Structure 1
Amino acid sequence: MAEYIEIPTPAGKFDALTAGPQDGRPVLLLHGFPEAAVEWSEQLAVLGGAECFAVAPDQRGYSPGVRPEQVSDYRMSELVGDVLAIAEHFGWQRFDLVGHDWGAAVAWATAAAHPERIRTLTAVSVPHLDPFNAALRNDEDQAQRSAYMQVFRSSAAEKTLLADNAKKLRQIYYPGVPEHHVDDYVQRLTEPGALTAALNWYRAARFDGGEIGPIEVPTLYVWSTEDVAVGSTAALATAQHVTGPYRFEMLEDVSHWIPEEAPDSFNRLLLQHLLAHQS
């Protein structure tokens, strides 16, 4: 069973869930929008059982103790800095990094900038950021899939998502996310300032073609065919941006919410990836 902890960093205290022995193989799991560490419940149980020390923080803005007000405080450089600060707290020289959705974006950026710290990378749903940004500009299908981002970046986003008992916020999770997780996420995001902080990730993001560069570390990328937010163009192009060992897995008939909708399939792939790269 996962244990709740707080992780002190220079930016503030992150809430987190952990599982497994503290001297086990370190694995850091980064959730997406609009979720929280609870997203990784199934993975925490499996990783803990495999003698890993798995840590899933509520990321910047999702943890009340790390909820700055300025949009600029949610730039990618700050999010990557949080990953390293959490690793420093535990004394991890190298660790396995897993991310879904926005967490995958942060994981890609971290692995690109600090390959010496990352033993393996596992990215779920969101592809390498360079082909993804290119697809946003050049691929009509991806541009249509990502049109929601402009809504999230607007000043009316909070009102729109929370109106009518958070009806539109709840709709984001379907299909795929278990009802009890949806209730948990909505409760968290209706707390004062929480949804604004989560949306500030979008408001601070830049999709103007600044490249993060190739990924050197062993990488597993898992994409699903029914992902409404991420099309196949960037997913298939990701292989061209990984110079290290690379594995691409496509899950049929699964939505964007892979860790929660298809935990057994994903957990099998994740454990295989970790076992294949021990050193």
Structure 2
Amino acid sequence: MIKRFRSIWLLWLLCLIPVGTAYAVDRLFLAPECPDCNSELTSKLPLFDGTQQGLVRIDANSMEFRARVAGFDNKDGEGVILLHGFPETSIMWQPLIDKLSEAGYRVVAFDQRGYSPGARPEDDKAYTKGKIARDVLAIADAVGFERFHVIGHDFGGAMAWVVADRYPERVMSLTAMSMPHPSALAESLQDLAPQIRLSSYILFYKMPVLPELVLGFDRAAYLRHFRWQDAPPEQIAEYEQVFGEPGALHAALDWYRMFEFRSLDPLGKITPPTLFIWGHRDQAFGRRAAIETANFIDGPYRFHSVNAGHQLMLEVPETVEDDVLDHLANWRRVTEQWNDRIAAMPQDNGSACDQSASPPPCLSIFVAQDGKTLRIRNRCDKPYEGVVRMSCSAWGPDASVEYRFDLGAKSEMAQESTGFSFGDCYYRHRLCGASTAEQHAGPAAMLSQP
């Protein structure tokens, strides 16, 4: 037994020798000459006082965040908070920051927990979704946003979903880019489907030590060649500066180690007006999770699938800017319209859709951005009926169409309309219930009601 134990330890030591050697070579010969230069430069930035533009420091949640701010001379402008993903910083948002501030918004894009030198706890448990979400509220409080629009990409998109779910009273609207609703992503991971393959990199990120060594070796050479290759030089320079200093990459990877998509505290339905932009060539998040995100929305919702991959701000910046500006300009009108129409609906007409049951994940609803396609898929073992209400920007302010459907088990249906444009369309589905055998007349039925 003792001999076997020694053999195991010897094997471990043999494995650690090349890892330790590579780490030593990287730190002694390949690391930046000033490993703390990002921290030093950040410490010299001015503290935010409501008058600056550009790079500042913001005191929030007992930490200090490096941030880009703009538009604070727009005294009555609505607040916008931008959340970056991995492995990036707030500089990824610079083109959108400029557009939003020019349109009259007050904008904050901050380097999130672990990315800011002054907000980098050493404890892995400091990177839970609840604590990171509270950073967003603390930033909002520090800059004077009682309510705000939240926009996030990649893991920043995941945190935007969390903030809208847990603090809907603070959120005017939500824009998620690339990242589906985390509960939809969790559902897509349950089957041996393409999402398992697409998300396999997360298993690597969750490993101890090895991801930091591979991704950080030679001044983050792997990230430079395989993640930042399409970014402009000024972005790459900042990323190298941030992730070249000790602790930054480890803290950023702790997000993956602590975030559980199959959580015991899952996200619920999102009620603020929501825009979800997803590239159908995305190599991280697949189509199923993107489509089924609609099942976790209980408010005005627009899904825009674009011809792009994962890096939407680099690949289709003009599309993102147009979508976001339109979404932010119309959130109040859309919210009021939906609330008025829902309040005016009969509450007791014998339909299963008037019950208080939420539609199950096996029932998915998809409405194309232009409103010309409505598709409902029932993968459940029993029939379902429900209501989908759609409103489009090309219609009058109070105009909408209501679709009542009665769909058999393991079936789907689609309604196509061509010949004229509806503009940008939003939809909301009402609570649905299972049809009884007496109620269900056939495999599929749909009634359109103005």
Structure 1 and Structure 2 fold alike (TM over 0.5): yes
Amino acid at match of 2:166: A
CA–CA distance in 2 between the matches of 1:181 and 1:270?
Answer: 22
**Of 255, 263, 269, which residue of structure 2 is paired with 1:214?**
269
**Of 274, 295, 312, which residue of structure 2 is paired with 1:240?**
295
Residue in 2 aligned with 1:204?
Answer: 258
- Mean CA deviation greater in 240-249 or 159-168: 159-168
**Of 67, 82, 94, which residue of structure 2 is paired with 1:16?**
67
CA–CA distance in 2 between the matches of 1:187 and 1:219?
Answer: 34
Return the offset for 1:184: 1.9
- Mean CA deviation greater in 182-191 or 77-86: 182-191
CA–CA distance in 2 between the matches of 1:38 and 1:234?
Answer: 28
**Of 151, 158, 182, which residue of structure 2 is paired with 1:98?**
151
Return the offset for 1:9: 1.3
Residue in 2 aligned with 1:34?
Answer: 87
Q: Bigger radius of gyration, 1 or 2? A: 2
CA–CA distance in 2 between the matches of 1:95 and 1:186?
Answer: 31
Return the offset for 1:209: 4.0
CA–CA distance in 2 between the matches of 1:7 and 1:98?
Answer: 19
SS of alignment partner, residue 131 of structure 2: helix
SS of alignment partner, residue 126 of structure 1: coil
Residue in 1 aligned with 2:130?
Answer: 77
CA–CA distance in 1 between the matches of 2:230 and 2:287?
Answer: 19
- CA RMSD in angstroms comes to 1.6
Residues 171 and 141 of structure 1, relative CA distance in 2, 3 Å threshold: farther
Amino acid at match of 1:110: V
Work out whether residues 216 and 243 of structure 2, in 8 Å CA contact, stay in contact via their aligned partners in 1: no
CA–CA distance in 2 between the matches of 1:182 and 1:117?
Answer: 34
Residues 54-69 of structure 1 mapped to structure 2, 5 A cutoff: 54-69=107-122
Task: Considering fraction of residues, name the structure with more helix.
Answer: 1
CA–CA distance in 2 between the matches of 1:261 and 1:250?
Answer: 13
Return the offset for 1:139: 4.5
**Of 198, 208, 212, which residue of structure 2 is paired with 1:158?**
212
SS of alignment partner, residue 133 of structure 1: helix
Structure 1: runs of 5+ lacking an equivalent? none
CA–CA distance in 2 between the matches of 1:174 and 1:200?
Answer: 20
**Of 299, 322, 332, which residue of structure 2 is paired with 1:268?**
322
Return the offset for 1:178: 2.8
1:231 matches 2:322: no
Residues 247 and 261 of structure 1, relative CA distance in 2, 3 Å threshold: same
CA–CA distance in 2 between the matches of 1:206 and 1:11?
Answer: 25
Residues 4 and 165 of structure 1, relative CA distance in 2, 3 Å threshold: closer
CA–CA distance in 2 between the matches of 1:52 and 1:136?
Answer: 38
Residue in 1 aligned with 2:44?
Answer: none
CA–CA distance in 2 between the matches of 1:51 and 1:75?
Answer: 34
Return the offset for 1:135: 1.3
- Mean CA deviation greater in 163-172 or 120-129: 163-172
- Mean CA deviation greater in 214-223 or 145-154: 145-154
CA displacement, residues 6-45 of structure 1 (integer Å, 9 cap, x when unaligned): 1101331111001113522100000000000001000000
Amino acid at match of 2:314: E
CA–CA distance in 2 between the matches of 1:197 and 1:250?
Answer: 32
SS of alignment partner, residue 138 of structure 1: coil
CA–CA distance in 2 between the matches of 1:192 and 1:114?
Answer: 34
CA–CA distance in 1 between the matches of 2:228 and 2:143?
Answer: 36
Amino acid at match of 2:122: E
CA–CA distance in 2 between the matches of 1:224 and 1:179?
Answer: 24
Work out whether residues 177 and 257 of structure 1, in 8 Å CA contact, stay in contact via their aligned partners in 2: no
Return the offset for 1:226: 1.7
- Poorly superposed stretches of 4+, deviation over 3 Å: none
- Mean CA deviation greater in 6-15 or 267-276: 6-15
Return the offset for 1:174: 5.1
Work out whether residues 2 and 44 of structure 1, in 8 Å CA contact, stay in contact via their aligned partners in 2: no
CA–CA distance in 2 between the matches of 1:92 and 1:241?
Answer: 26
- Mean CA deviation greater in 1-10 or 51-60: 1-10
Work out whether residues 215 and 222 of structure 2, in 8 Å CA contact, stay in contact via their aligned partners in 1: yes
Return the offset for 1:266: 0.3
TM-score, reference length from structure 1: 0.95
CA–CA distance in 2 between the matches of 1:2 and 1:228?
Answer: 35
Sequence identity percentage: 38
CA–CA distance in 1 between the matches of 2:238 and 2:231?
Answer: 11
Residue in 1 aligned with 2:401?
Answer: none
CA displacement, residues 113-138 of structure 1 (integer Å, 9 cap, x when unaligned): 11110000000000001011121232
Work out whether residues 186 and 262 of structure 2, in 8 Å CA contact, stay in contact via their aligned partners in 1: yes
Higher relative contact order, chain-length normalized (CA < 8 Å, sep 6+): 1
